[in-house]
Amino acid sequence: MPDRDQTEQRPIEREEFRRRAASLLARFRSHTDADPEWTYLSPSYALVGLDEWSIGDGAAADVDACIRDLHRSAARRGIQRIVVEVVASDAPALAAFRAAGLRDSSVFAVASSAGTSSVRVQVDTVRTAGTEDRATIVALAREEALFQAVSTSAGTSVHQPVALFEALADDWLGDLGSTTVLVAETGLPTGRPEILGLMVVQDTESAASERGLGLPERHGYIAVASVTATARGRGTGSALFAAAEAWCVGRGLDAIALDYIVDNAAARPFWSARGFRPVVIRLAMRVG
């Protein structure tokens, strides 16, 4: 779901902070519940992207001063959250921003699409969804967004309107040339199938910044991964990922990427076990 270039294309306001050995360029953004990014970003935030900060030698105090200035400026403008993107391998920068009070919030992670996943699970079928599944797709995607808002430190709103997810479902189902919408289902004693989980995967052109981090020209992006509460821990996510990986391999995509929230207790071990390694870490700080 996230468009990594979206906030850069639609900035509302900019603030630049210059110091002797450190500088930040923050882009302020406020958006409404009609925007797709509402599901995964704070209603208002200041984003410091990968190319919008620099840290020189001995800059720890300067980083702290930059963050304090940014915090004050954000507060004056009603911004709720500061987010800084850092390459996961840049240990000094991570240490400097953490020392300034930011905490790891989310991860952009990448894995090779080896097509080797094999699972034994309590799922009868993983299939491509159709328009007849629209209501279930809407419900599962919204359930995941609400879980992130309530149960993690994502900073997203608990107000997640159904209309937004209806529009997203229509976009996914209307773009099946470059998107696959997968659902996992199992039979009930009545013989009627029950959908247990959803995974949306998109054939995505890598942005210049992503290619600079080693991604190929195109990659598979897992926009949504959602499993019903009653089906968690039963292998549903594994079955969905195996199908998603096979779809990527079939399209010649050598890499799969996704974003996950750091303090989602199930996300990190699940994706790490499937070969995903952090490429970008987003650190965040609440304002106010």
211 vs 232 pLDDT, higher one? 211
The confidence band for 86, taking pLDDT boundaries of 50, 70 and 90, is: very high
Residue 105, amino acid: S
Phi, psi (deg, nearest 5) at residue 132: -70, -15
Question: Whole-angstrom Cα distance, residue 256 to residue 111?
Answer: 5
Superfamily of domain 111-278: Gcn5-related N-acetyltransferase (GNAT) (3.40.630.30)
In the chain, the largest separation of any two C-alpha atoms, in whole Å, equals 70
pLDDT of residue 123: 57
User: DSSP labels for 155-208?
Assistant: ---S---HHHHHHHHHHHHT-TTTEEEEEEEEE-TTS-EEEEEEEEEEEEEPPH
- What is the C-alpha to C-alpha distance for residues 140 and 165, in angstroms, rounded to an integer? 9
Q: Mean pLDDT throughout 56-75?
A: 85
Helices of type H across the chain: 6-9, 60-76, 91-99, 134-151, 162-173, 208-212, 236-250, 267-272
Predicted TM-score of the model (pTM): 0.88
What is the arithmetic mean of pLDDT over 240-268? 94
Q: Give the tens place of pLDDT for each residue, 148-205.
A: 999 999 999 999 999 999 999 999 999 989 999 999 988 655 567 788 899 999 999 9
Q: Which residue shows structure tokens 């990659």?
A: 219
Domain ranges of the chain: 6-107, 111-278
- Residues 244-260 have a mean pLDDT of 96
Instruction: List the end-to-end C-alpha distance of the chain, in Å, as a whole number.
Output: 28
Q: Do domains 6-107 and 111-278 have the same CATH topology?
A: yes
Residue 39: closest CA among 136, 188, 202, 168: 168
For residue 191, the model assigns a pLDDT of: 62
Residue 101: per-residue pLDDT: 95
Interval 191-201: pLDDT, tens: 677 888 999 99
Distance between CA atoms of 220 and 212, rounded to whole angstroms? 17
- Calculate the average pLDDT of the chain: 88
Gap between the Cα atoms of 55 and 63, Å rounded: 7
CATH class for the domain made up of 6-107: alpha beta
Lowest mean per-residue pLDDT among 18-22, 56-60, 274-278:
18-22
Q: Please compute the mean of the pLDDT values over residues 38-48 and round it to a whole number.
A: 95
Please tell me the predicted confidence (pLDDT) of residue 233: 76
Alpha-carbon distance 18 to 25, whole Å?
9
How far is the C-alpha of 257 from the C-alpha of 216, rounded, in Å?
A: 11
How confident is residue 284, by pLDDT bands cut at 50, 70 and 90?
very high
Phi then psi dihedrals of residue 211, to 5 deg: -65, -35
Per-residue pLDDT at 9 exceeds 70: no
Please give the pLDDT value at position 6.
45
